Amino acid sequence: MKVLLTALNAKYIHTNLAIRYLKKSVEKLFPETQTMEFTINHHIEYILAEIYKAHPDVLCFSCYIWNIDMVLEICDSIKKVMPELTIILGGPEVSFDADVLMKNNDAIDIVVIGDGELTFKNLLDTLYKYGDYSEIPGIVYRARGNVFFTSEHSDKLKMVELPFPYEDEAIDKDKIVYYESSRGCPFNCQYCLSSSFQGVDYLPIERVKEELMYLLKTEVRQVKFVDRTFNARKEYALEIMKFILENNNGITNFHFEVTADLIDEEMLIFLESVPTGLFQFEIGIQSTNEETLKAIDRKMNFDILKKIVIRIASYRNIHQHLDLIVGLPMEDYYSFRKSFNDVFALRPEKLQVGFLKLLKGSGLKINAEKYQYVYSSKPPYEVLQSNALNYGEIIRLKGVEEMIETYWNSRIFTASIEAIVQNFYSNDFSFFEELWKYWNNRGHQHQAHSKNLLYQILLDFYMEQGFEGLDVFQEVLKFDYLKNTRSSSIPSFLPRIIEDNFKNKCHEFLQQEENIHKYLAVYTDIPAKQIIKKVHFEKFRYNVVELERIPKLFKEAVKKNTILLFDYDMESKAIDHSKYYEVSFQD
- Beta carbons within 10 angstroms of residue 464's beta carbon: 12
Give the pLDDT of residue 196: 62
Distances from the Cα of 177 to the Cαs of 164, 172, 223, 527, 551, in angstroms? 13, 9, 5, 40, 40
Give the pLDDT of residue 156: 85
pLDDT digits (tens, 9 = 90+) for 200-209: 999 999 999 9
Tell me the pLDDT of the chain averaged across its residues.
95
CA atoms within 13 A on the CB side of 435: 26
Give the pLDDT of residue 74: 98
In order of start, what are the domains of the chain with their CATH numbers? 3-149 (3.40.50.280), 163-388 (3.80.30.20), 485-583 (no CATH)
Average pLDDT over residues 433-443: 97
CA distance linking residue 239 with residue 217, whole number of Å:
19
pLDDT higher than threshold 80 for residue 153? no
CA distance linking residue 127 with residue 233, whole number of Å:
41
CA distance linking residue 35 with residue 18, whole number of Å:
11
What are residue 537's phi and psi, to 5 degrees?
-110, 140
pLDDT digits (tens, 9 = 90+) for 351-407: 999 999 999 999 999 999 999 999 999 999 999 999 999 999 999 999 999 999 999
CB burial string 374-386: b at 16+ within 10 A, e below: ebeeebebbbebb
**CB 476, CB 429: distance < 8 Å:** no
Give the pLDDT of residue 195: 60
pLDDT digits (tens, 9 = 90+) for 18-67: 999 999 999 999 999 999 999 999 999 999 999 999 999 999 999 999 99
Provide the whole-model pTM. Answer: 0.94
Q: What is the DSSP string of 75-95?
A: HHHHHHH-TT-EEEEESGGGS
What are residue 562's phi and psi, to 5 degrees?
-135, 130
Average pLDDT over residues 512-521: 95
The rounded percent of the chain whose pLDDT value lies above 90 is: 90
CA distance linking residue 30 with residue 121, whole number of Å:
10
What are residue 565's phi and psi, to 5 degrees?
-105, 120
Residue 76, class by beta-carbon neighbours within 10 Å (0-12 exposed, 13-18 middle, 19+ buried)? middle
